[in-house]
Amino acid sequence: MARVRLDGVYKIYPDGTRAVDDLHLDIADGEFLVLVGPSGCGKTTALRMVAGLEDISRGTVAIGERTVNRVPARDRDVAMVFQSYALYPHLTVRDNIAFGLQLRRMPKAEIAERVAKAAATLGLTDHLDRKPRNLSGGQRQRVAMGRAIVRNPQAFLMDEPLSNLDAKLRVQMRAEISRIQRDLGVTTVYVTHDQVEAMTLGDRVAVMKKGVLQQVAPPQELYERPVNLFVAGFIGSPAMNLLQGRLEGDGDGALLHLGDQALGVPRALLAERPALRGYLGRGIAVGIRPEDMEDADLDGAGTDGAAVLSSTADLVEALGAELLVHFAADAPPVVTEDTRELARDAGADDAAAPGGGAMIAKFSPRSQVAEGRPVRIRVDTGRLYFFDPDSGAGIW
Ligand code: ATP
């Protein structure tokens, strides 16, 4: 097990593409770090440079105490797990797991012992004599994991290992990977474009955009204190609603104007984030998470008028545990390079585009909200997010 460090790492492909741009990451011994970001953000390239499958254009990669820039992949003592399991179809599960050890000419008894232990960890003991074609997708994925585990590597490097599994199996394997990593305590770098996977697996999550690291932090911190519009819009589902607002007030109290409507900004929030005062009398980008809104007419939730927006429910999606209520805000959406990149990503993934003038609120299923009818939305104004309208930087 080892610490993994990337120091000022660049990858510039021969055609000039800057796939990774000055990446610094210090991954602690035993840590589970997730690299996440939209397609093409450079996360796979970064992982492949750690693995030794891609040359490093500039900067250094160190595994443990050793700089590995010039160390070939096979000598880096890391184990990769890929999206395509890359199993040998003609070999049994046992031989697939043992393959790497046999190549290294490890004594047979030790191979058998390691394979048995890995199979037990992965629940594969009863399947060791099968061929991959006779396994389910989840079992194949376990065999691929087994191949990594038996090597006792310094680090696991995983590239979207769950993306070939169906949704239910993915959730199950996600929990399993988490458990195995914790049991073994092996430093892990895990690449995914799925923010839910990133948030549930990572001790820390590194969010990348166009080759550039945006923020690296524990999941809750990413959610609560995103450094910019990109991270704010990327983390959370449905995505944070982003609107152009205007802050008015004297610093003692403030009103957030959203078109013709206004929300009171709690004093405590102004006190917590002194930089907000610099925006009084100016435009500001505002973020409201769907889960920070509720039906104001439910249980007398909306008695405080300074925290209520009015609109019409355009669409109500009943998900059982919650309602997703789509409505239009009075204020225009935020449009920056970050939000365009988010929209591009959402479109590619066929997910709901991150908010803007079109808002999504998460209501209790007990709400009586109906499509085409007026709706009053109570906003948890203590949880508003603010960003500089030009740079998109979070205001904290
Ligand atoms: P995905 O999730 O789609 O795999 P990613 O975040 O892992 O995306 P990379 O595969 O690392 O992204 O690619 C980063 C950028 O580098 C992309 O713009 C991609 O088109 C480009 N790229 C990747 N491989 C090459 C190559 N061999 N030559 C030129 N450009 C490349």
In tens, the pLDDT along 33-64 reads: 999 999 999 999 999 999 999 999 999 999 99
**One domain for residues 376 and 239:** yes
Atom number of ligand 1 nearest to Cα 20: 14
Kindly report the protein residue whose alpha carbon is nearest to atom 18 of ligand 1: 40
**One domain for residues 196 and 285:** no
pLDDT for res 356: 43
pLDDT for res 348: 44
C-alpha 229 – ligand 1 centre gap (Å) = 23
Structure tokens at 158: 């995983």
C-alpha 348 – ligand 1 centre gap (Å) = 15
C-alpha 17 – ligand 1 centre gap (Å) = 9
Whether residue 193 contacts residue 39, with contact meaning beta carbons closer than 8 Å, is answered with yes
- Report how far apart the first and last C-alpha atoms of the chain are (Å, whole number): 37
Beta strands in 13-70 (DSSP E): 18-27, 32-36, 58-63, 66-67
C-alpha 108 – ligand 1 centre gap (Å) = 40
Structure tokens at 40: 């093409």
C-alpha 249 – ligand 1 centre gap (Å) = 47
Domain-embedded: residue 395: no
C-alpha 43 – ligand 1 centre gap (Å) = 8
C-alpha 44 – ligand 1 centre gap (Å) = 7
pLDDT for res 302: 61
Domain-embedded: residue 176: yes
**162-212: per-residue pLDDT in tens?**
988 888 888 988 998 999 999 999 999 999 999 999 999 999 999 999 999
- Looking at the structure of the chain, the number of domains it has is 2
Question: Where a domain ends, among 197, 215, 230?
Answer: 230
Torsion of CA 315, 317, 322, 324, to 10 degrees: -40
Structure tokens at 22: 């000055």
**Nearest of 109, 173, 175, 166 to residue 143 by alpha carbon:** 173
Low-confidence ranges of the chain (pLDDT < 70): 251, 300-303, 348-356
Kindly report the protein residue whose alpha carbon is nearest to atom 9 of ligand 1: 42
The preferred substitution site among 17, 53, 159, 195 for testing ligand 1, maximizing ligand atoms within 8 Å of CB, is: 17
pLDDT for res 350: 39
At 148, which CATH number?
A: 3.40.50.300
Q: Is the dihedral of CA 83, 155, 186, 131 positive or negative?
A: positive
Structure tokens at 168: 């239910």
Question: Where a domain ends, among 168, 202, 230?
Answer: 230
**One domain for residues 46 and 148:** yes
Residues with CB under 6 A from ligand 1: 13, 15, 17, 19, 37, 39-45, 193
Domain-embedded: residue 393: no
**One domain for residues 154 and 60:** yes
**One domain for residues 74 and 109:** yes
At 348, is the secondary structure helix, strand, or coil? helix
Domain-embedded: residue 396: no
Kindly report the protein residue whose alpha carbon is nearest to atom 5 of ligand 1: 40
Domain-embedded: residue 392: no
Kindly report the protein residue whose alpha carbon is nearest to atom 2 of ligand 1: 39
**One domain for residues 256 and 277:** yes
Kindly report the protein residue whose alpha carbon is nearest to atom 16 of ligand 1: 19
Residues in the chain: 396
**One domain for residues 54 and 140:** yes
Atom number of ligand 1 nearest to Cα 48: 11
Which domain does 196 fall in, by range? 4-230
**One domain for residues 224 and 323:** no
C-alpha 350 – ligand 1 centre gap (Å) = 20
pTM: 0.93
Kindly report the protein residue whose alpha carbon is nearest to atom 3 of ligand 1: 39
Q: What single letter denotes the amino acid at residue 230?
A: F
**One domain for residues 214 and 276:** no
Q: 94: how many CB neighbours lie within 10 A of its CB? A: 20
pLDDT for res 301: 63
Domain-embedded: residue 56: yes
Q: 364: how many CB neighbours lie within 10 A of its CB? A: 14
**One domain for residues 293 and 217:** no
Domain-embedded: residue 394: no
**Nearest of 278, 290, 289 to residue 226 by alpha carbon:** 289
Structure tokens at 348: 């590619």
Is the complex ipTM higher than 0.85?
yes
C-alpha 112 – ligand 1 centre gap (Å) = 39
Domain-embedded: residue 374: yes
Omega of the bond prior to 161 within 30 degrees of 0, cis?
A: no
Strands 374-379 and 308-318: antiparallel
Question: Where a domain ends, among 230, 257, 281?
Answer: 230
Kindly report the protein residue whose alpha carbon is nearest to atom 27 of ligand 1: 13
The preferred substitution site among 6, 23, 35, 41 for testing ligand 1, maximizing ligand atoms within 8 Å of CB, is: 41
pLDDT for res 353: 47
**One domain for residues 117 and 262:** no
C-alpha 6 – ligand 1 centre gap (Å) = 18
Beta bridge partners of 264: 255
**One domain for residues 225 and 261:** no
